[in-house]
A = this chain, B = another copy of it.
Amino acid sequence: MTREQDPGLDSVDRHILAELQADGRMTNVELARRVNLSAPPCLRRVRRLEEAGIIRGYHADIDPVSLGWEVTFFALVGLESQKQAVLDAFEALAASWPEVRECHMIRGGGDFLLRLVARDTAHENELTARLTNAPAVLRVQTLQTIRTAKDEAGVPVA
């Protein structure tokens, strides 16, 4: 299902998206008030945005530390081959680990950028070692986050 730049996104739709990106649990009545609409057309627009796949879902944003995930880090992983089967196998492996939260293939061939969480430094080391020893992995560079200056969910709705 390809969508591309829907032209049918007017300024009210963008306003709705901005509000729901900022507070996804807002009631429809409150949302309608903010975008200067009455509740029924507002709800119809939200449903349309959901059905079009523009709104992909709603998620609570949970503090990792509260759940015992003290360390967040990135890993830049280089594979020894760019064969599709090798790339697919690495992706499948990475996706199967709950500690891997994101797995992005990087342009240039055979590299992946992962975002991971770990319970502590020992766990982080263990995960790094597991990555290093995974099939077809040539090198692993860990990028440990020590401070996050900005972490905005989503995209600018300008």
Contacts and interface: CB of A to CB of B under 8 A. Distances in A.
Q: Classify the interface of chain A: helix, strand, loop or mixed.
A: mixed
A95 to B, nearest CB: 4
Interface string A113-139: 100010000000000000000000000
Q: Choose among A9, A14, A63 the residue with the greatest number of B CB atoms under 10 Å from its CB.
A: A63
A150 B104 CA distance: 7
B62 A155 contact: yes
A83 interface: no
B155 A69 contact: yes
Interface string A95-108: 10011111111111
A82 to B, nearest CB: 12
Interface string A48-76: 00001111111111111111110000101
Interface residues of A, number: 67
Interface of A: 3-6, 9, 14, 17, 20-25, 52-69, 74, 76, 91-92, 94-95, 98-108, 111, 113, 117, 143-158
Given A55-B61, A99-B156, 16 more contacts: A21-B62, A23-B57, A55-B60, A56-B62, A58-B60, A59-B154, A61-B154, A62-B157, A98-B156, A104-B148, A105-B149, A106-B146, A107-B143, A107-B145, A113-B143, A113-B145
